[in-house]
């Protein structure tokens, strides 16, 4: 109970810390002159909250460090701190990689233990970077730490992520079109037809003679086919990697000398080492089955076959065209049928591919 005093005016006792009697209003002359006793805090009076400024978002800082270690520190303007975390993360990962691989040939368990320790260390560095970014942002908001702006390095991860997202969006929305350009090069460079029979034996292997389609295999309104040796420079990197040996390309069109933009069908015949012709067809599937391209049901020909519907244009076209591709392999032989130009006929391409497959003994 607080000390009390008796009011000399109304003789009622009250808290002597009060400046006046709460009943009659008589002044409390026991207090020093001019002093006023502090009033006890009231539950009805709200306390003043500290001034917290929203300069940095702690969640954004933590997320930045999660996506790119050190990014959260750069978001908070701490360039050196971000470089320290990034350096520690990189050195730890690199050291573990260089150490684990040799140890694997010495002892699996030792290499596994080192790898586990490295993973834990990397996780610890990443976790501490996230925690530090979050806490630093809070300190900046409370005024306990200075903030002079984002670090210039903040824009490096941002630019990388924007570039990656843009490339993924381009692949998903637009789709690749290298196939149109690749096959258009062959057609643009095709020679003017001078013969209706395959090249002479001194320019190709004898076994190719009976594999080419002839004028009798084409529709009545098509011109005689043209033939051309495929130089090594025209072989794709994948073909060269699989050991492509010799190849020829044959062209079919309604016009004897087609112009860029006319519909042209090509037949490629290329030999590979044993087994690689089939692998080449598998590689075609990985190359063409992405983006806006569509995988079709291939004709049942050869040991392995694939068919695709591509959307693209070659460099002389003014609009996108549909291009059909059929590839198949038999023994060491790989064949590809392609349409380039407007209004292609997939059924015709399929019929030509089946006729070509029937020529293989």
Average pLDDT, integer, range 115-126: 90
Instruction: Report pTM.
Output: 0.47
Pair 247, 166 in one domain: no
**Domain-ending residue, one of 173, 197, 229:** 173
CB 294 within 8 A of CB 283: no
Widest CA span in the chain: 137
Cα separation, 170 vs 100, in Å, equals 38
* pLDDT of 250 strictly over 90: no
Pair 157, 265 in one domain: no
pLDDT bin (cut points 50, 70, 90) of residue 304 is very high
Cα separation, 231 vs 144, in Å, equals 71
| Pairwise pLDDT comparison (40 vs 94), residue with the higher score | 94
pLDDT bin (cut points 50, 70, 90) of residue 298 is very high
User: 15 in a domain, yes or no?
Assistant: yes
* pLDDT of 189 strictly over 60: no
pLDDT given at position 306: 94
Which has the closest alpha carbon to 254: 227, 213, 226? 226
Pair 141, 251 in one domain: no
Pair 345, 329 in one domain: yes
User: 161 in a domain, yes or no?
Assistant: yes
| Pairwise pLDDT comparison (277 vs 47), residue with the higher score | 277
Average pLDDT, integer, range 45-61: 67
Instruction: List beta partners, residue 324.
Output: 309
* pLDDT of 253 strictly over 70: yes
Q: What's the half-sphere exposure (Cβ side, CA atoms, 13 Å) at 319?
A: 5
pLDDT given at position 23: 65
Average pLDDT, integer, range 38-45: 48
% of the chain surpassing 70 pLDDT: 79
* Orientation of helix 155-173 relative to helix 58-67, angle to 10°: 70
pLDDT bin (cut points 50, 70, 90) of residue 349 is very high
Helix or strand run (H / E) with residue 115:
helix 108-142
> What does the pLDDT look like over 212-233, one tens digit per residue?
898 899 999 998 888 888 888 8
Pair 123, 196 in one domain: no
Q: Beta-carbon neighbour count of residue 317 at 10 Å?
A: 16
**Domain-ending residue, one of 173, 207, 232:** 173
* pLDDT of 188 strictly over 70: no
pLDDT given at position 53: 64
> What does the pLDDT look like over 95-111, one tens digit per residue?
888 888 788 788 888 88
Pair 183, 293 in one domain: yes
pLDDT given at position 71: 93
227: containing domain:
178-358
pLDDT bin (cut points 50, 70, 90) of residue 70 is very high
pLDDT given at position 1: 53
Average pLDDT, integer, range 259-286: 88
* pLDDT of 197 strictly over 70: no
CB 310 within 8 A of CB 193: no
Helix, strand, or coil here: 295?
A: strand
Pair 40, 69 in one domain: no
Average pLDDT, integer, range 342-357: 91
Pair 96, 165 in one domain: yes
């Amino acid at each position: 109970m607080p000390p009390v005093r008796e009011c000399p005016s109304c003789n009622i006792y009250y808290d002597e810390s009060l400046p006046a009697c709460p009943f009659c209003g008589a002044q409390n002359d026991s207090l020093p002159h001019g002093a006023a006793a502090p009033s006890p805090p009231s539950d009805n009076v709200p306390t003043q909250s500290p001034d917290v400024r929203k300069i940095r978002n702690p969640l954004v800082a933590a997320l930045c460090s999660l996506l790119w270690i050190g990014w959260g520190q750069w978001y908070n303007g701490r360039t050196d701190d971000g470089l320290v975390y990034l350096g520690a993360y990189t050195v730890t990962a690199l050291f573990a990689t260089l150490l684990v691989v040799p140890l694997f040939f010495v002892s699996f368990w030792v290499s596994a233990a080192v790898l586990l320790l490295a993973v834990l260390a990397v996780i610890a560095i990443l976790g501490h970077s996230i925690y530090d970014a979050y806490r630093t942002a809070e300190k900046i908001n409370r005024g306990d730490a200075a903030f002079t702006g984002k670090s210039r390095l903040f824009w490096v991860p941002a630019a990388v992520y924007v570039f990656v997202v843009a490339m993924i969006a381009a692949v998903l929305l637009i789709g690749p079109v290298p196939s149109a350009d690749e096959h258009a090069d062959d057609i643009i460079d095709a020679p003017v037809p001078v013969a209706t029979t395959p090249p002479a034996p001194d320019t190709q292997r004898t076994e190719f003679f009976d594999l080419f389609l002839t004028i009798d295999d084409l529709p009545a309104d098509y011109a005689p086919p043209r033939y051309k040796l495929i130089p090594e420079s025209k072989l794709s990197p994948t073909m060269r990697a699989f050991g492509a040996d010799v190849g020829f390309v044959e062209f079919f069109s309604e016009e004897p000398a087609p112009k860029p933009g006319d519909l042209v069908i090509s037949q490629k015949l290329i030999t590979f080492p044993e087994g690689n012709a089939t692998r080449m067809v598998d590689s075609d599937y990985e190359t063409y089955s992405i983006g806006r391209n569509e995988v079709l049901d291939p004709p049942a020909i050869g040991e392995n076959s694939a068919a695709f519907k591509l959307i693209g244009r070659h460099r002389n076209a003014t609009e996108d065209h549909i291009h059909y591709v059929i590839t198949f392999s038999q023994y060491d032989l790989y064949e590809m049928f392609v349409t380039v130009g407007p209004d292609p006929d997939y059924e015709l391409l399929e019929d030509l591919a089946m006729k070509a497959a029937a020529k293989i003994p």
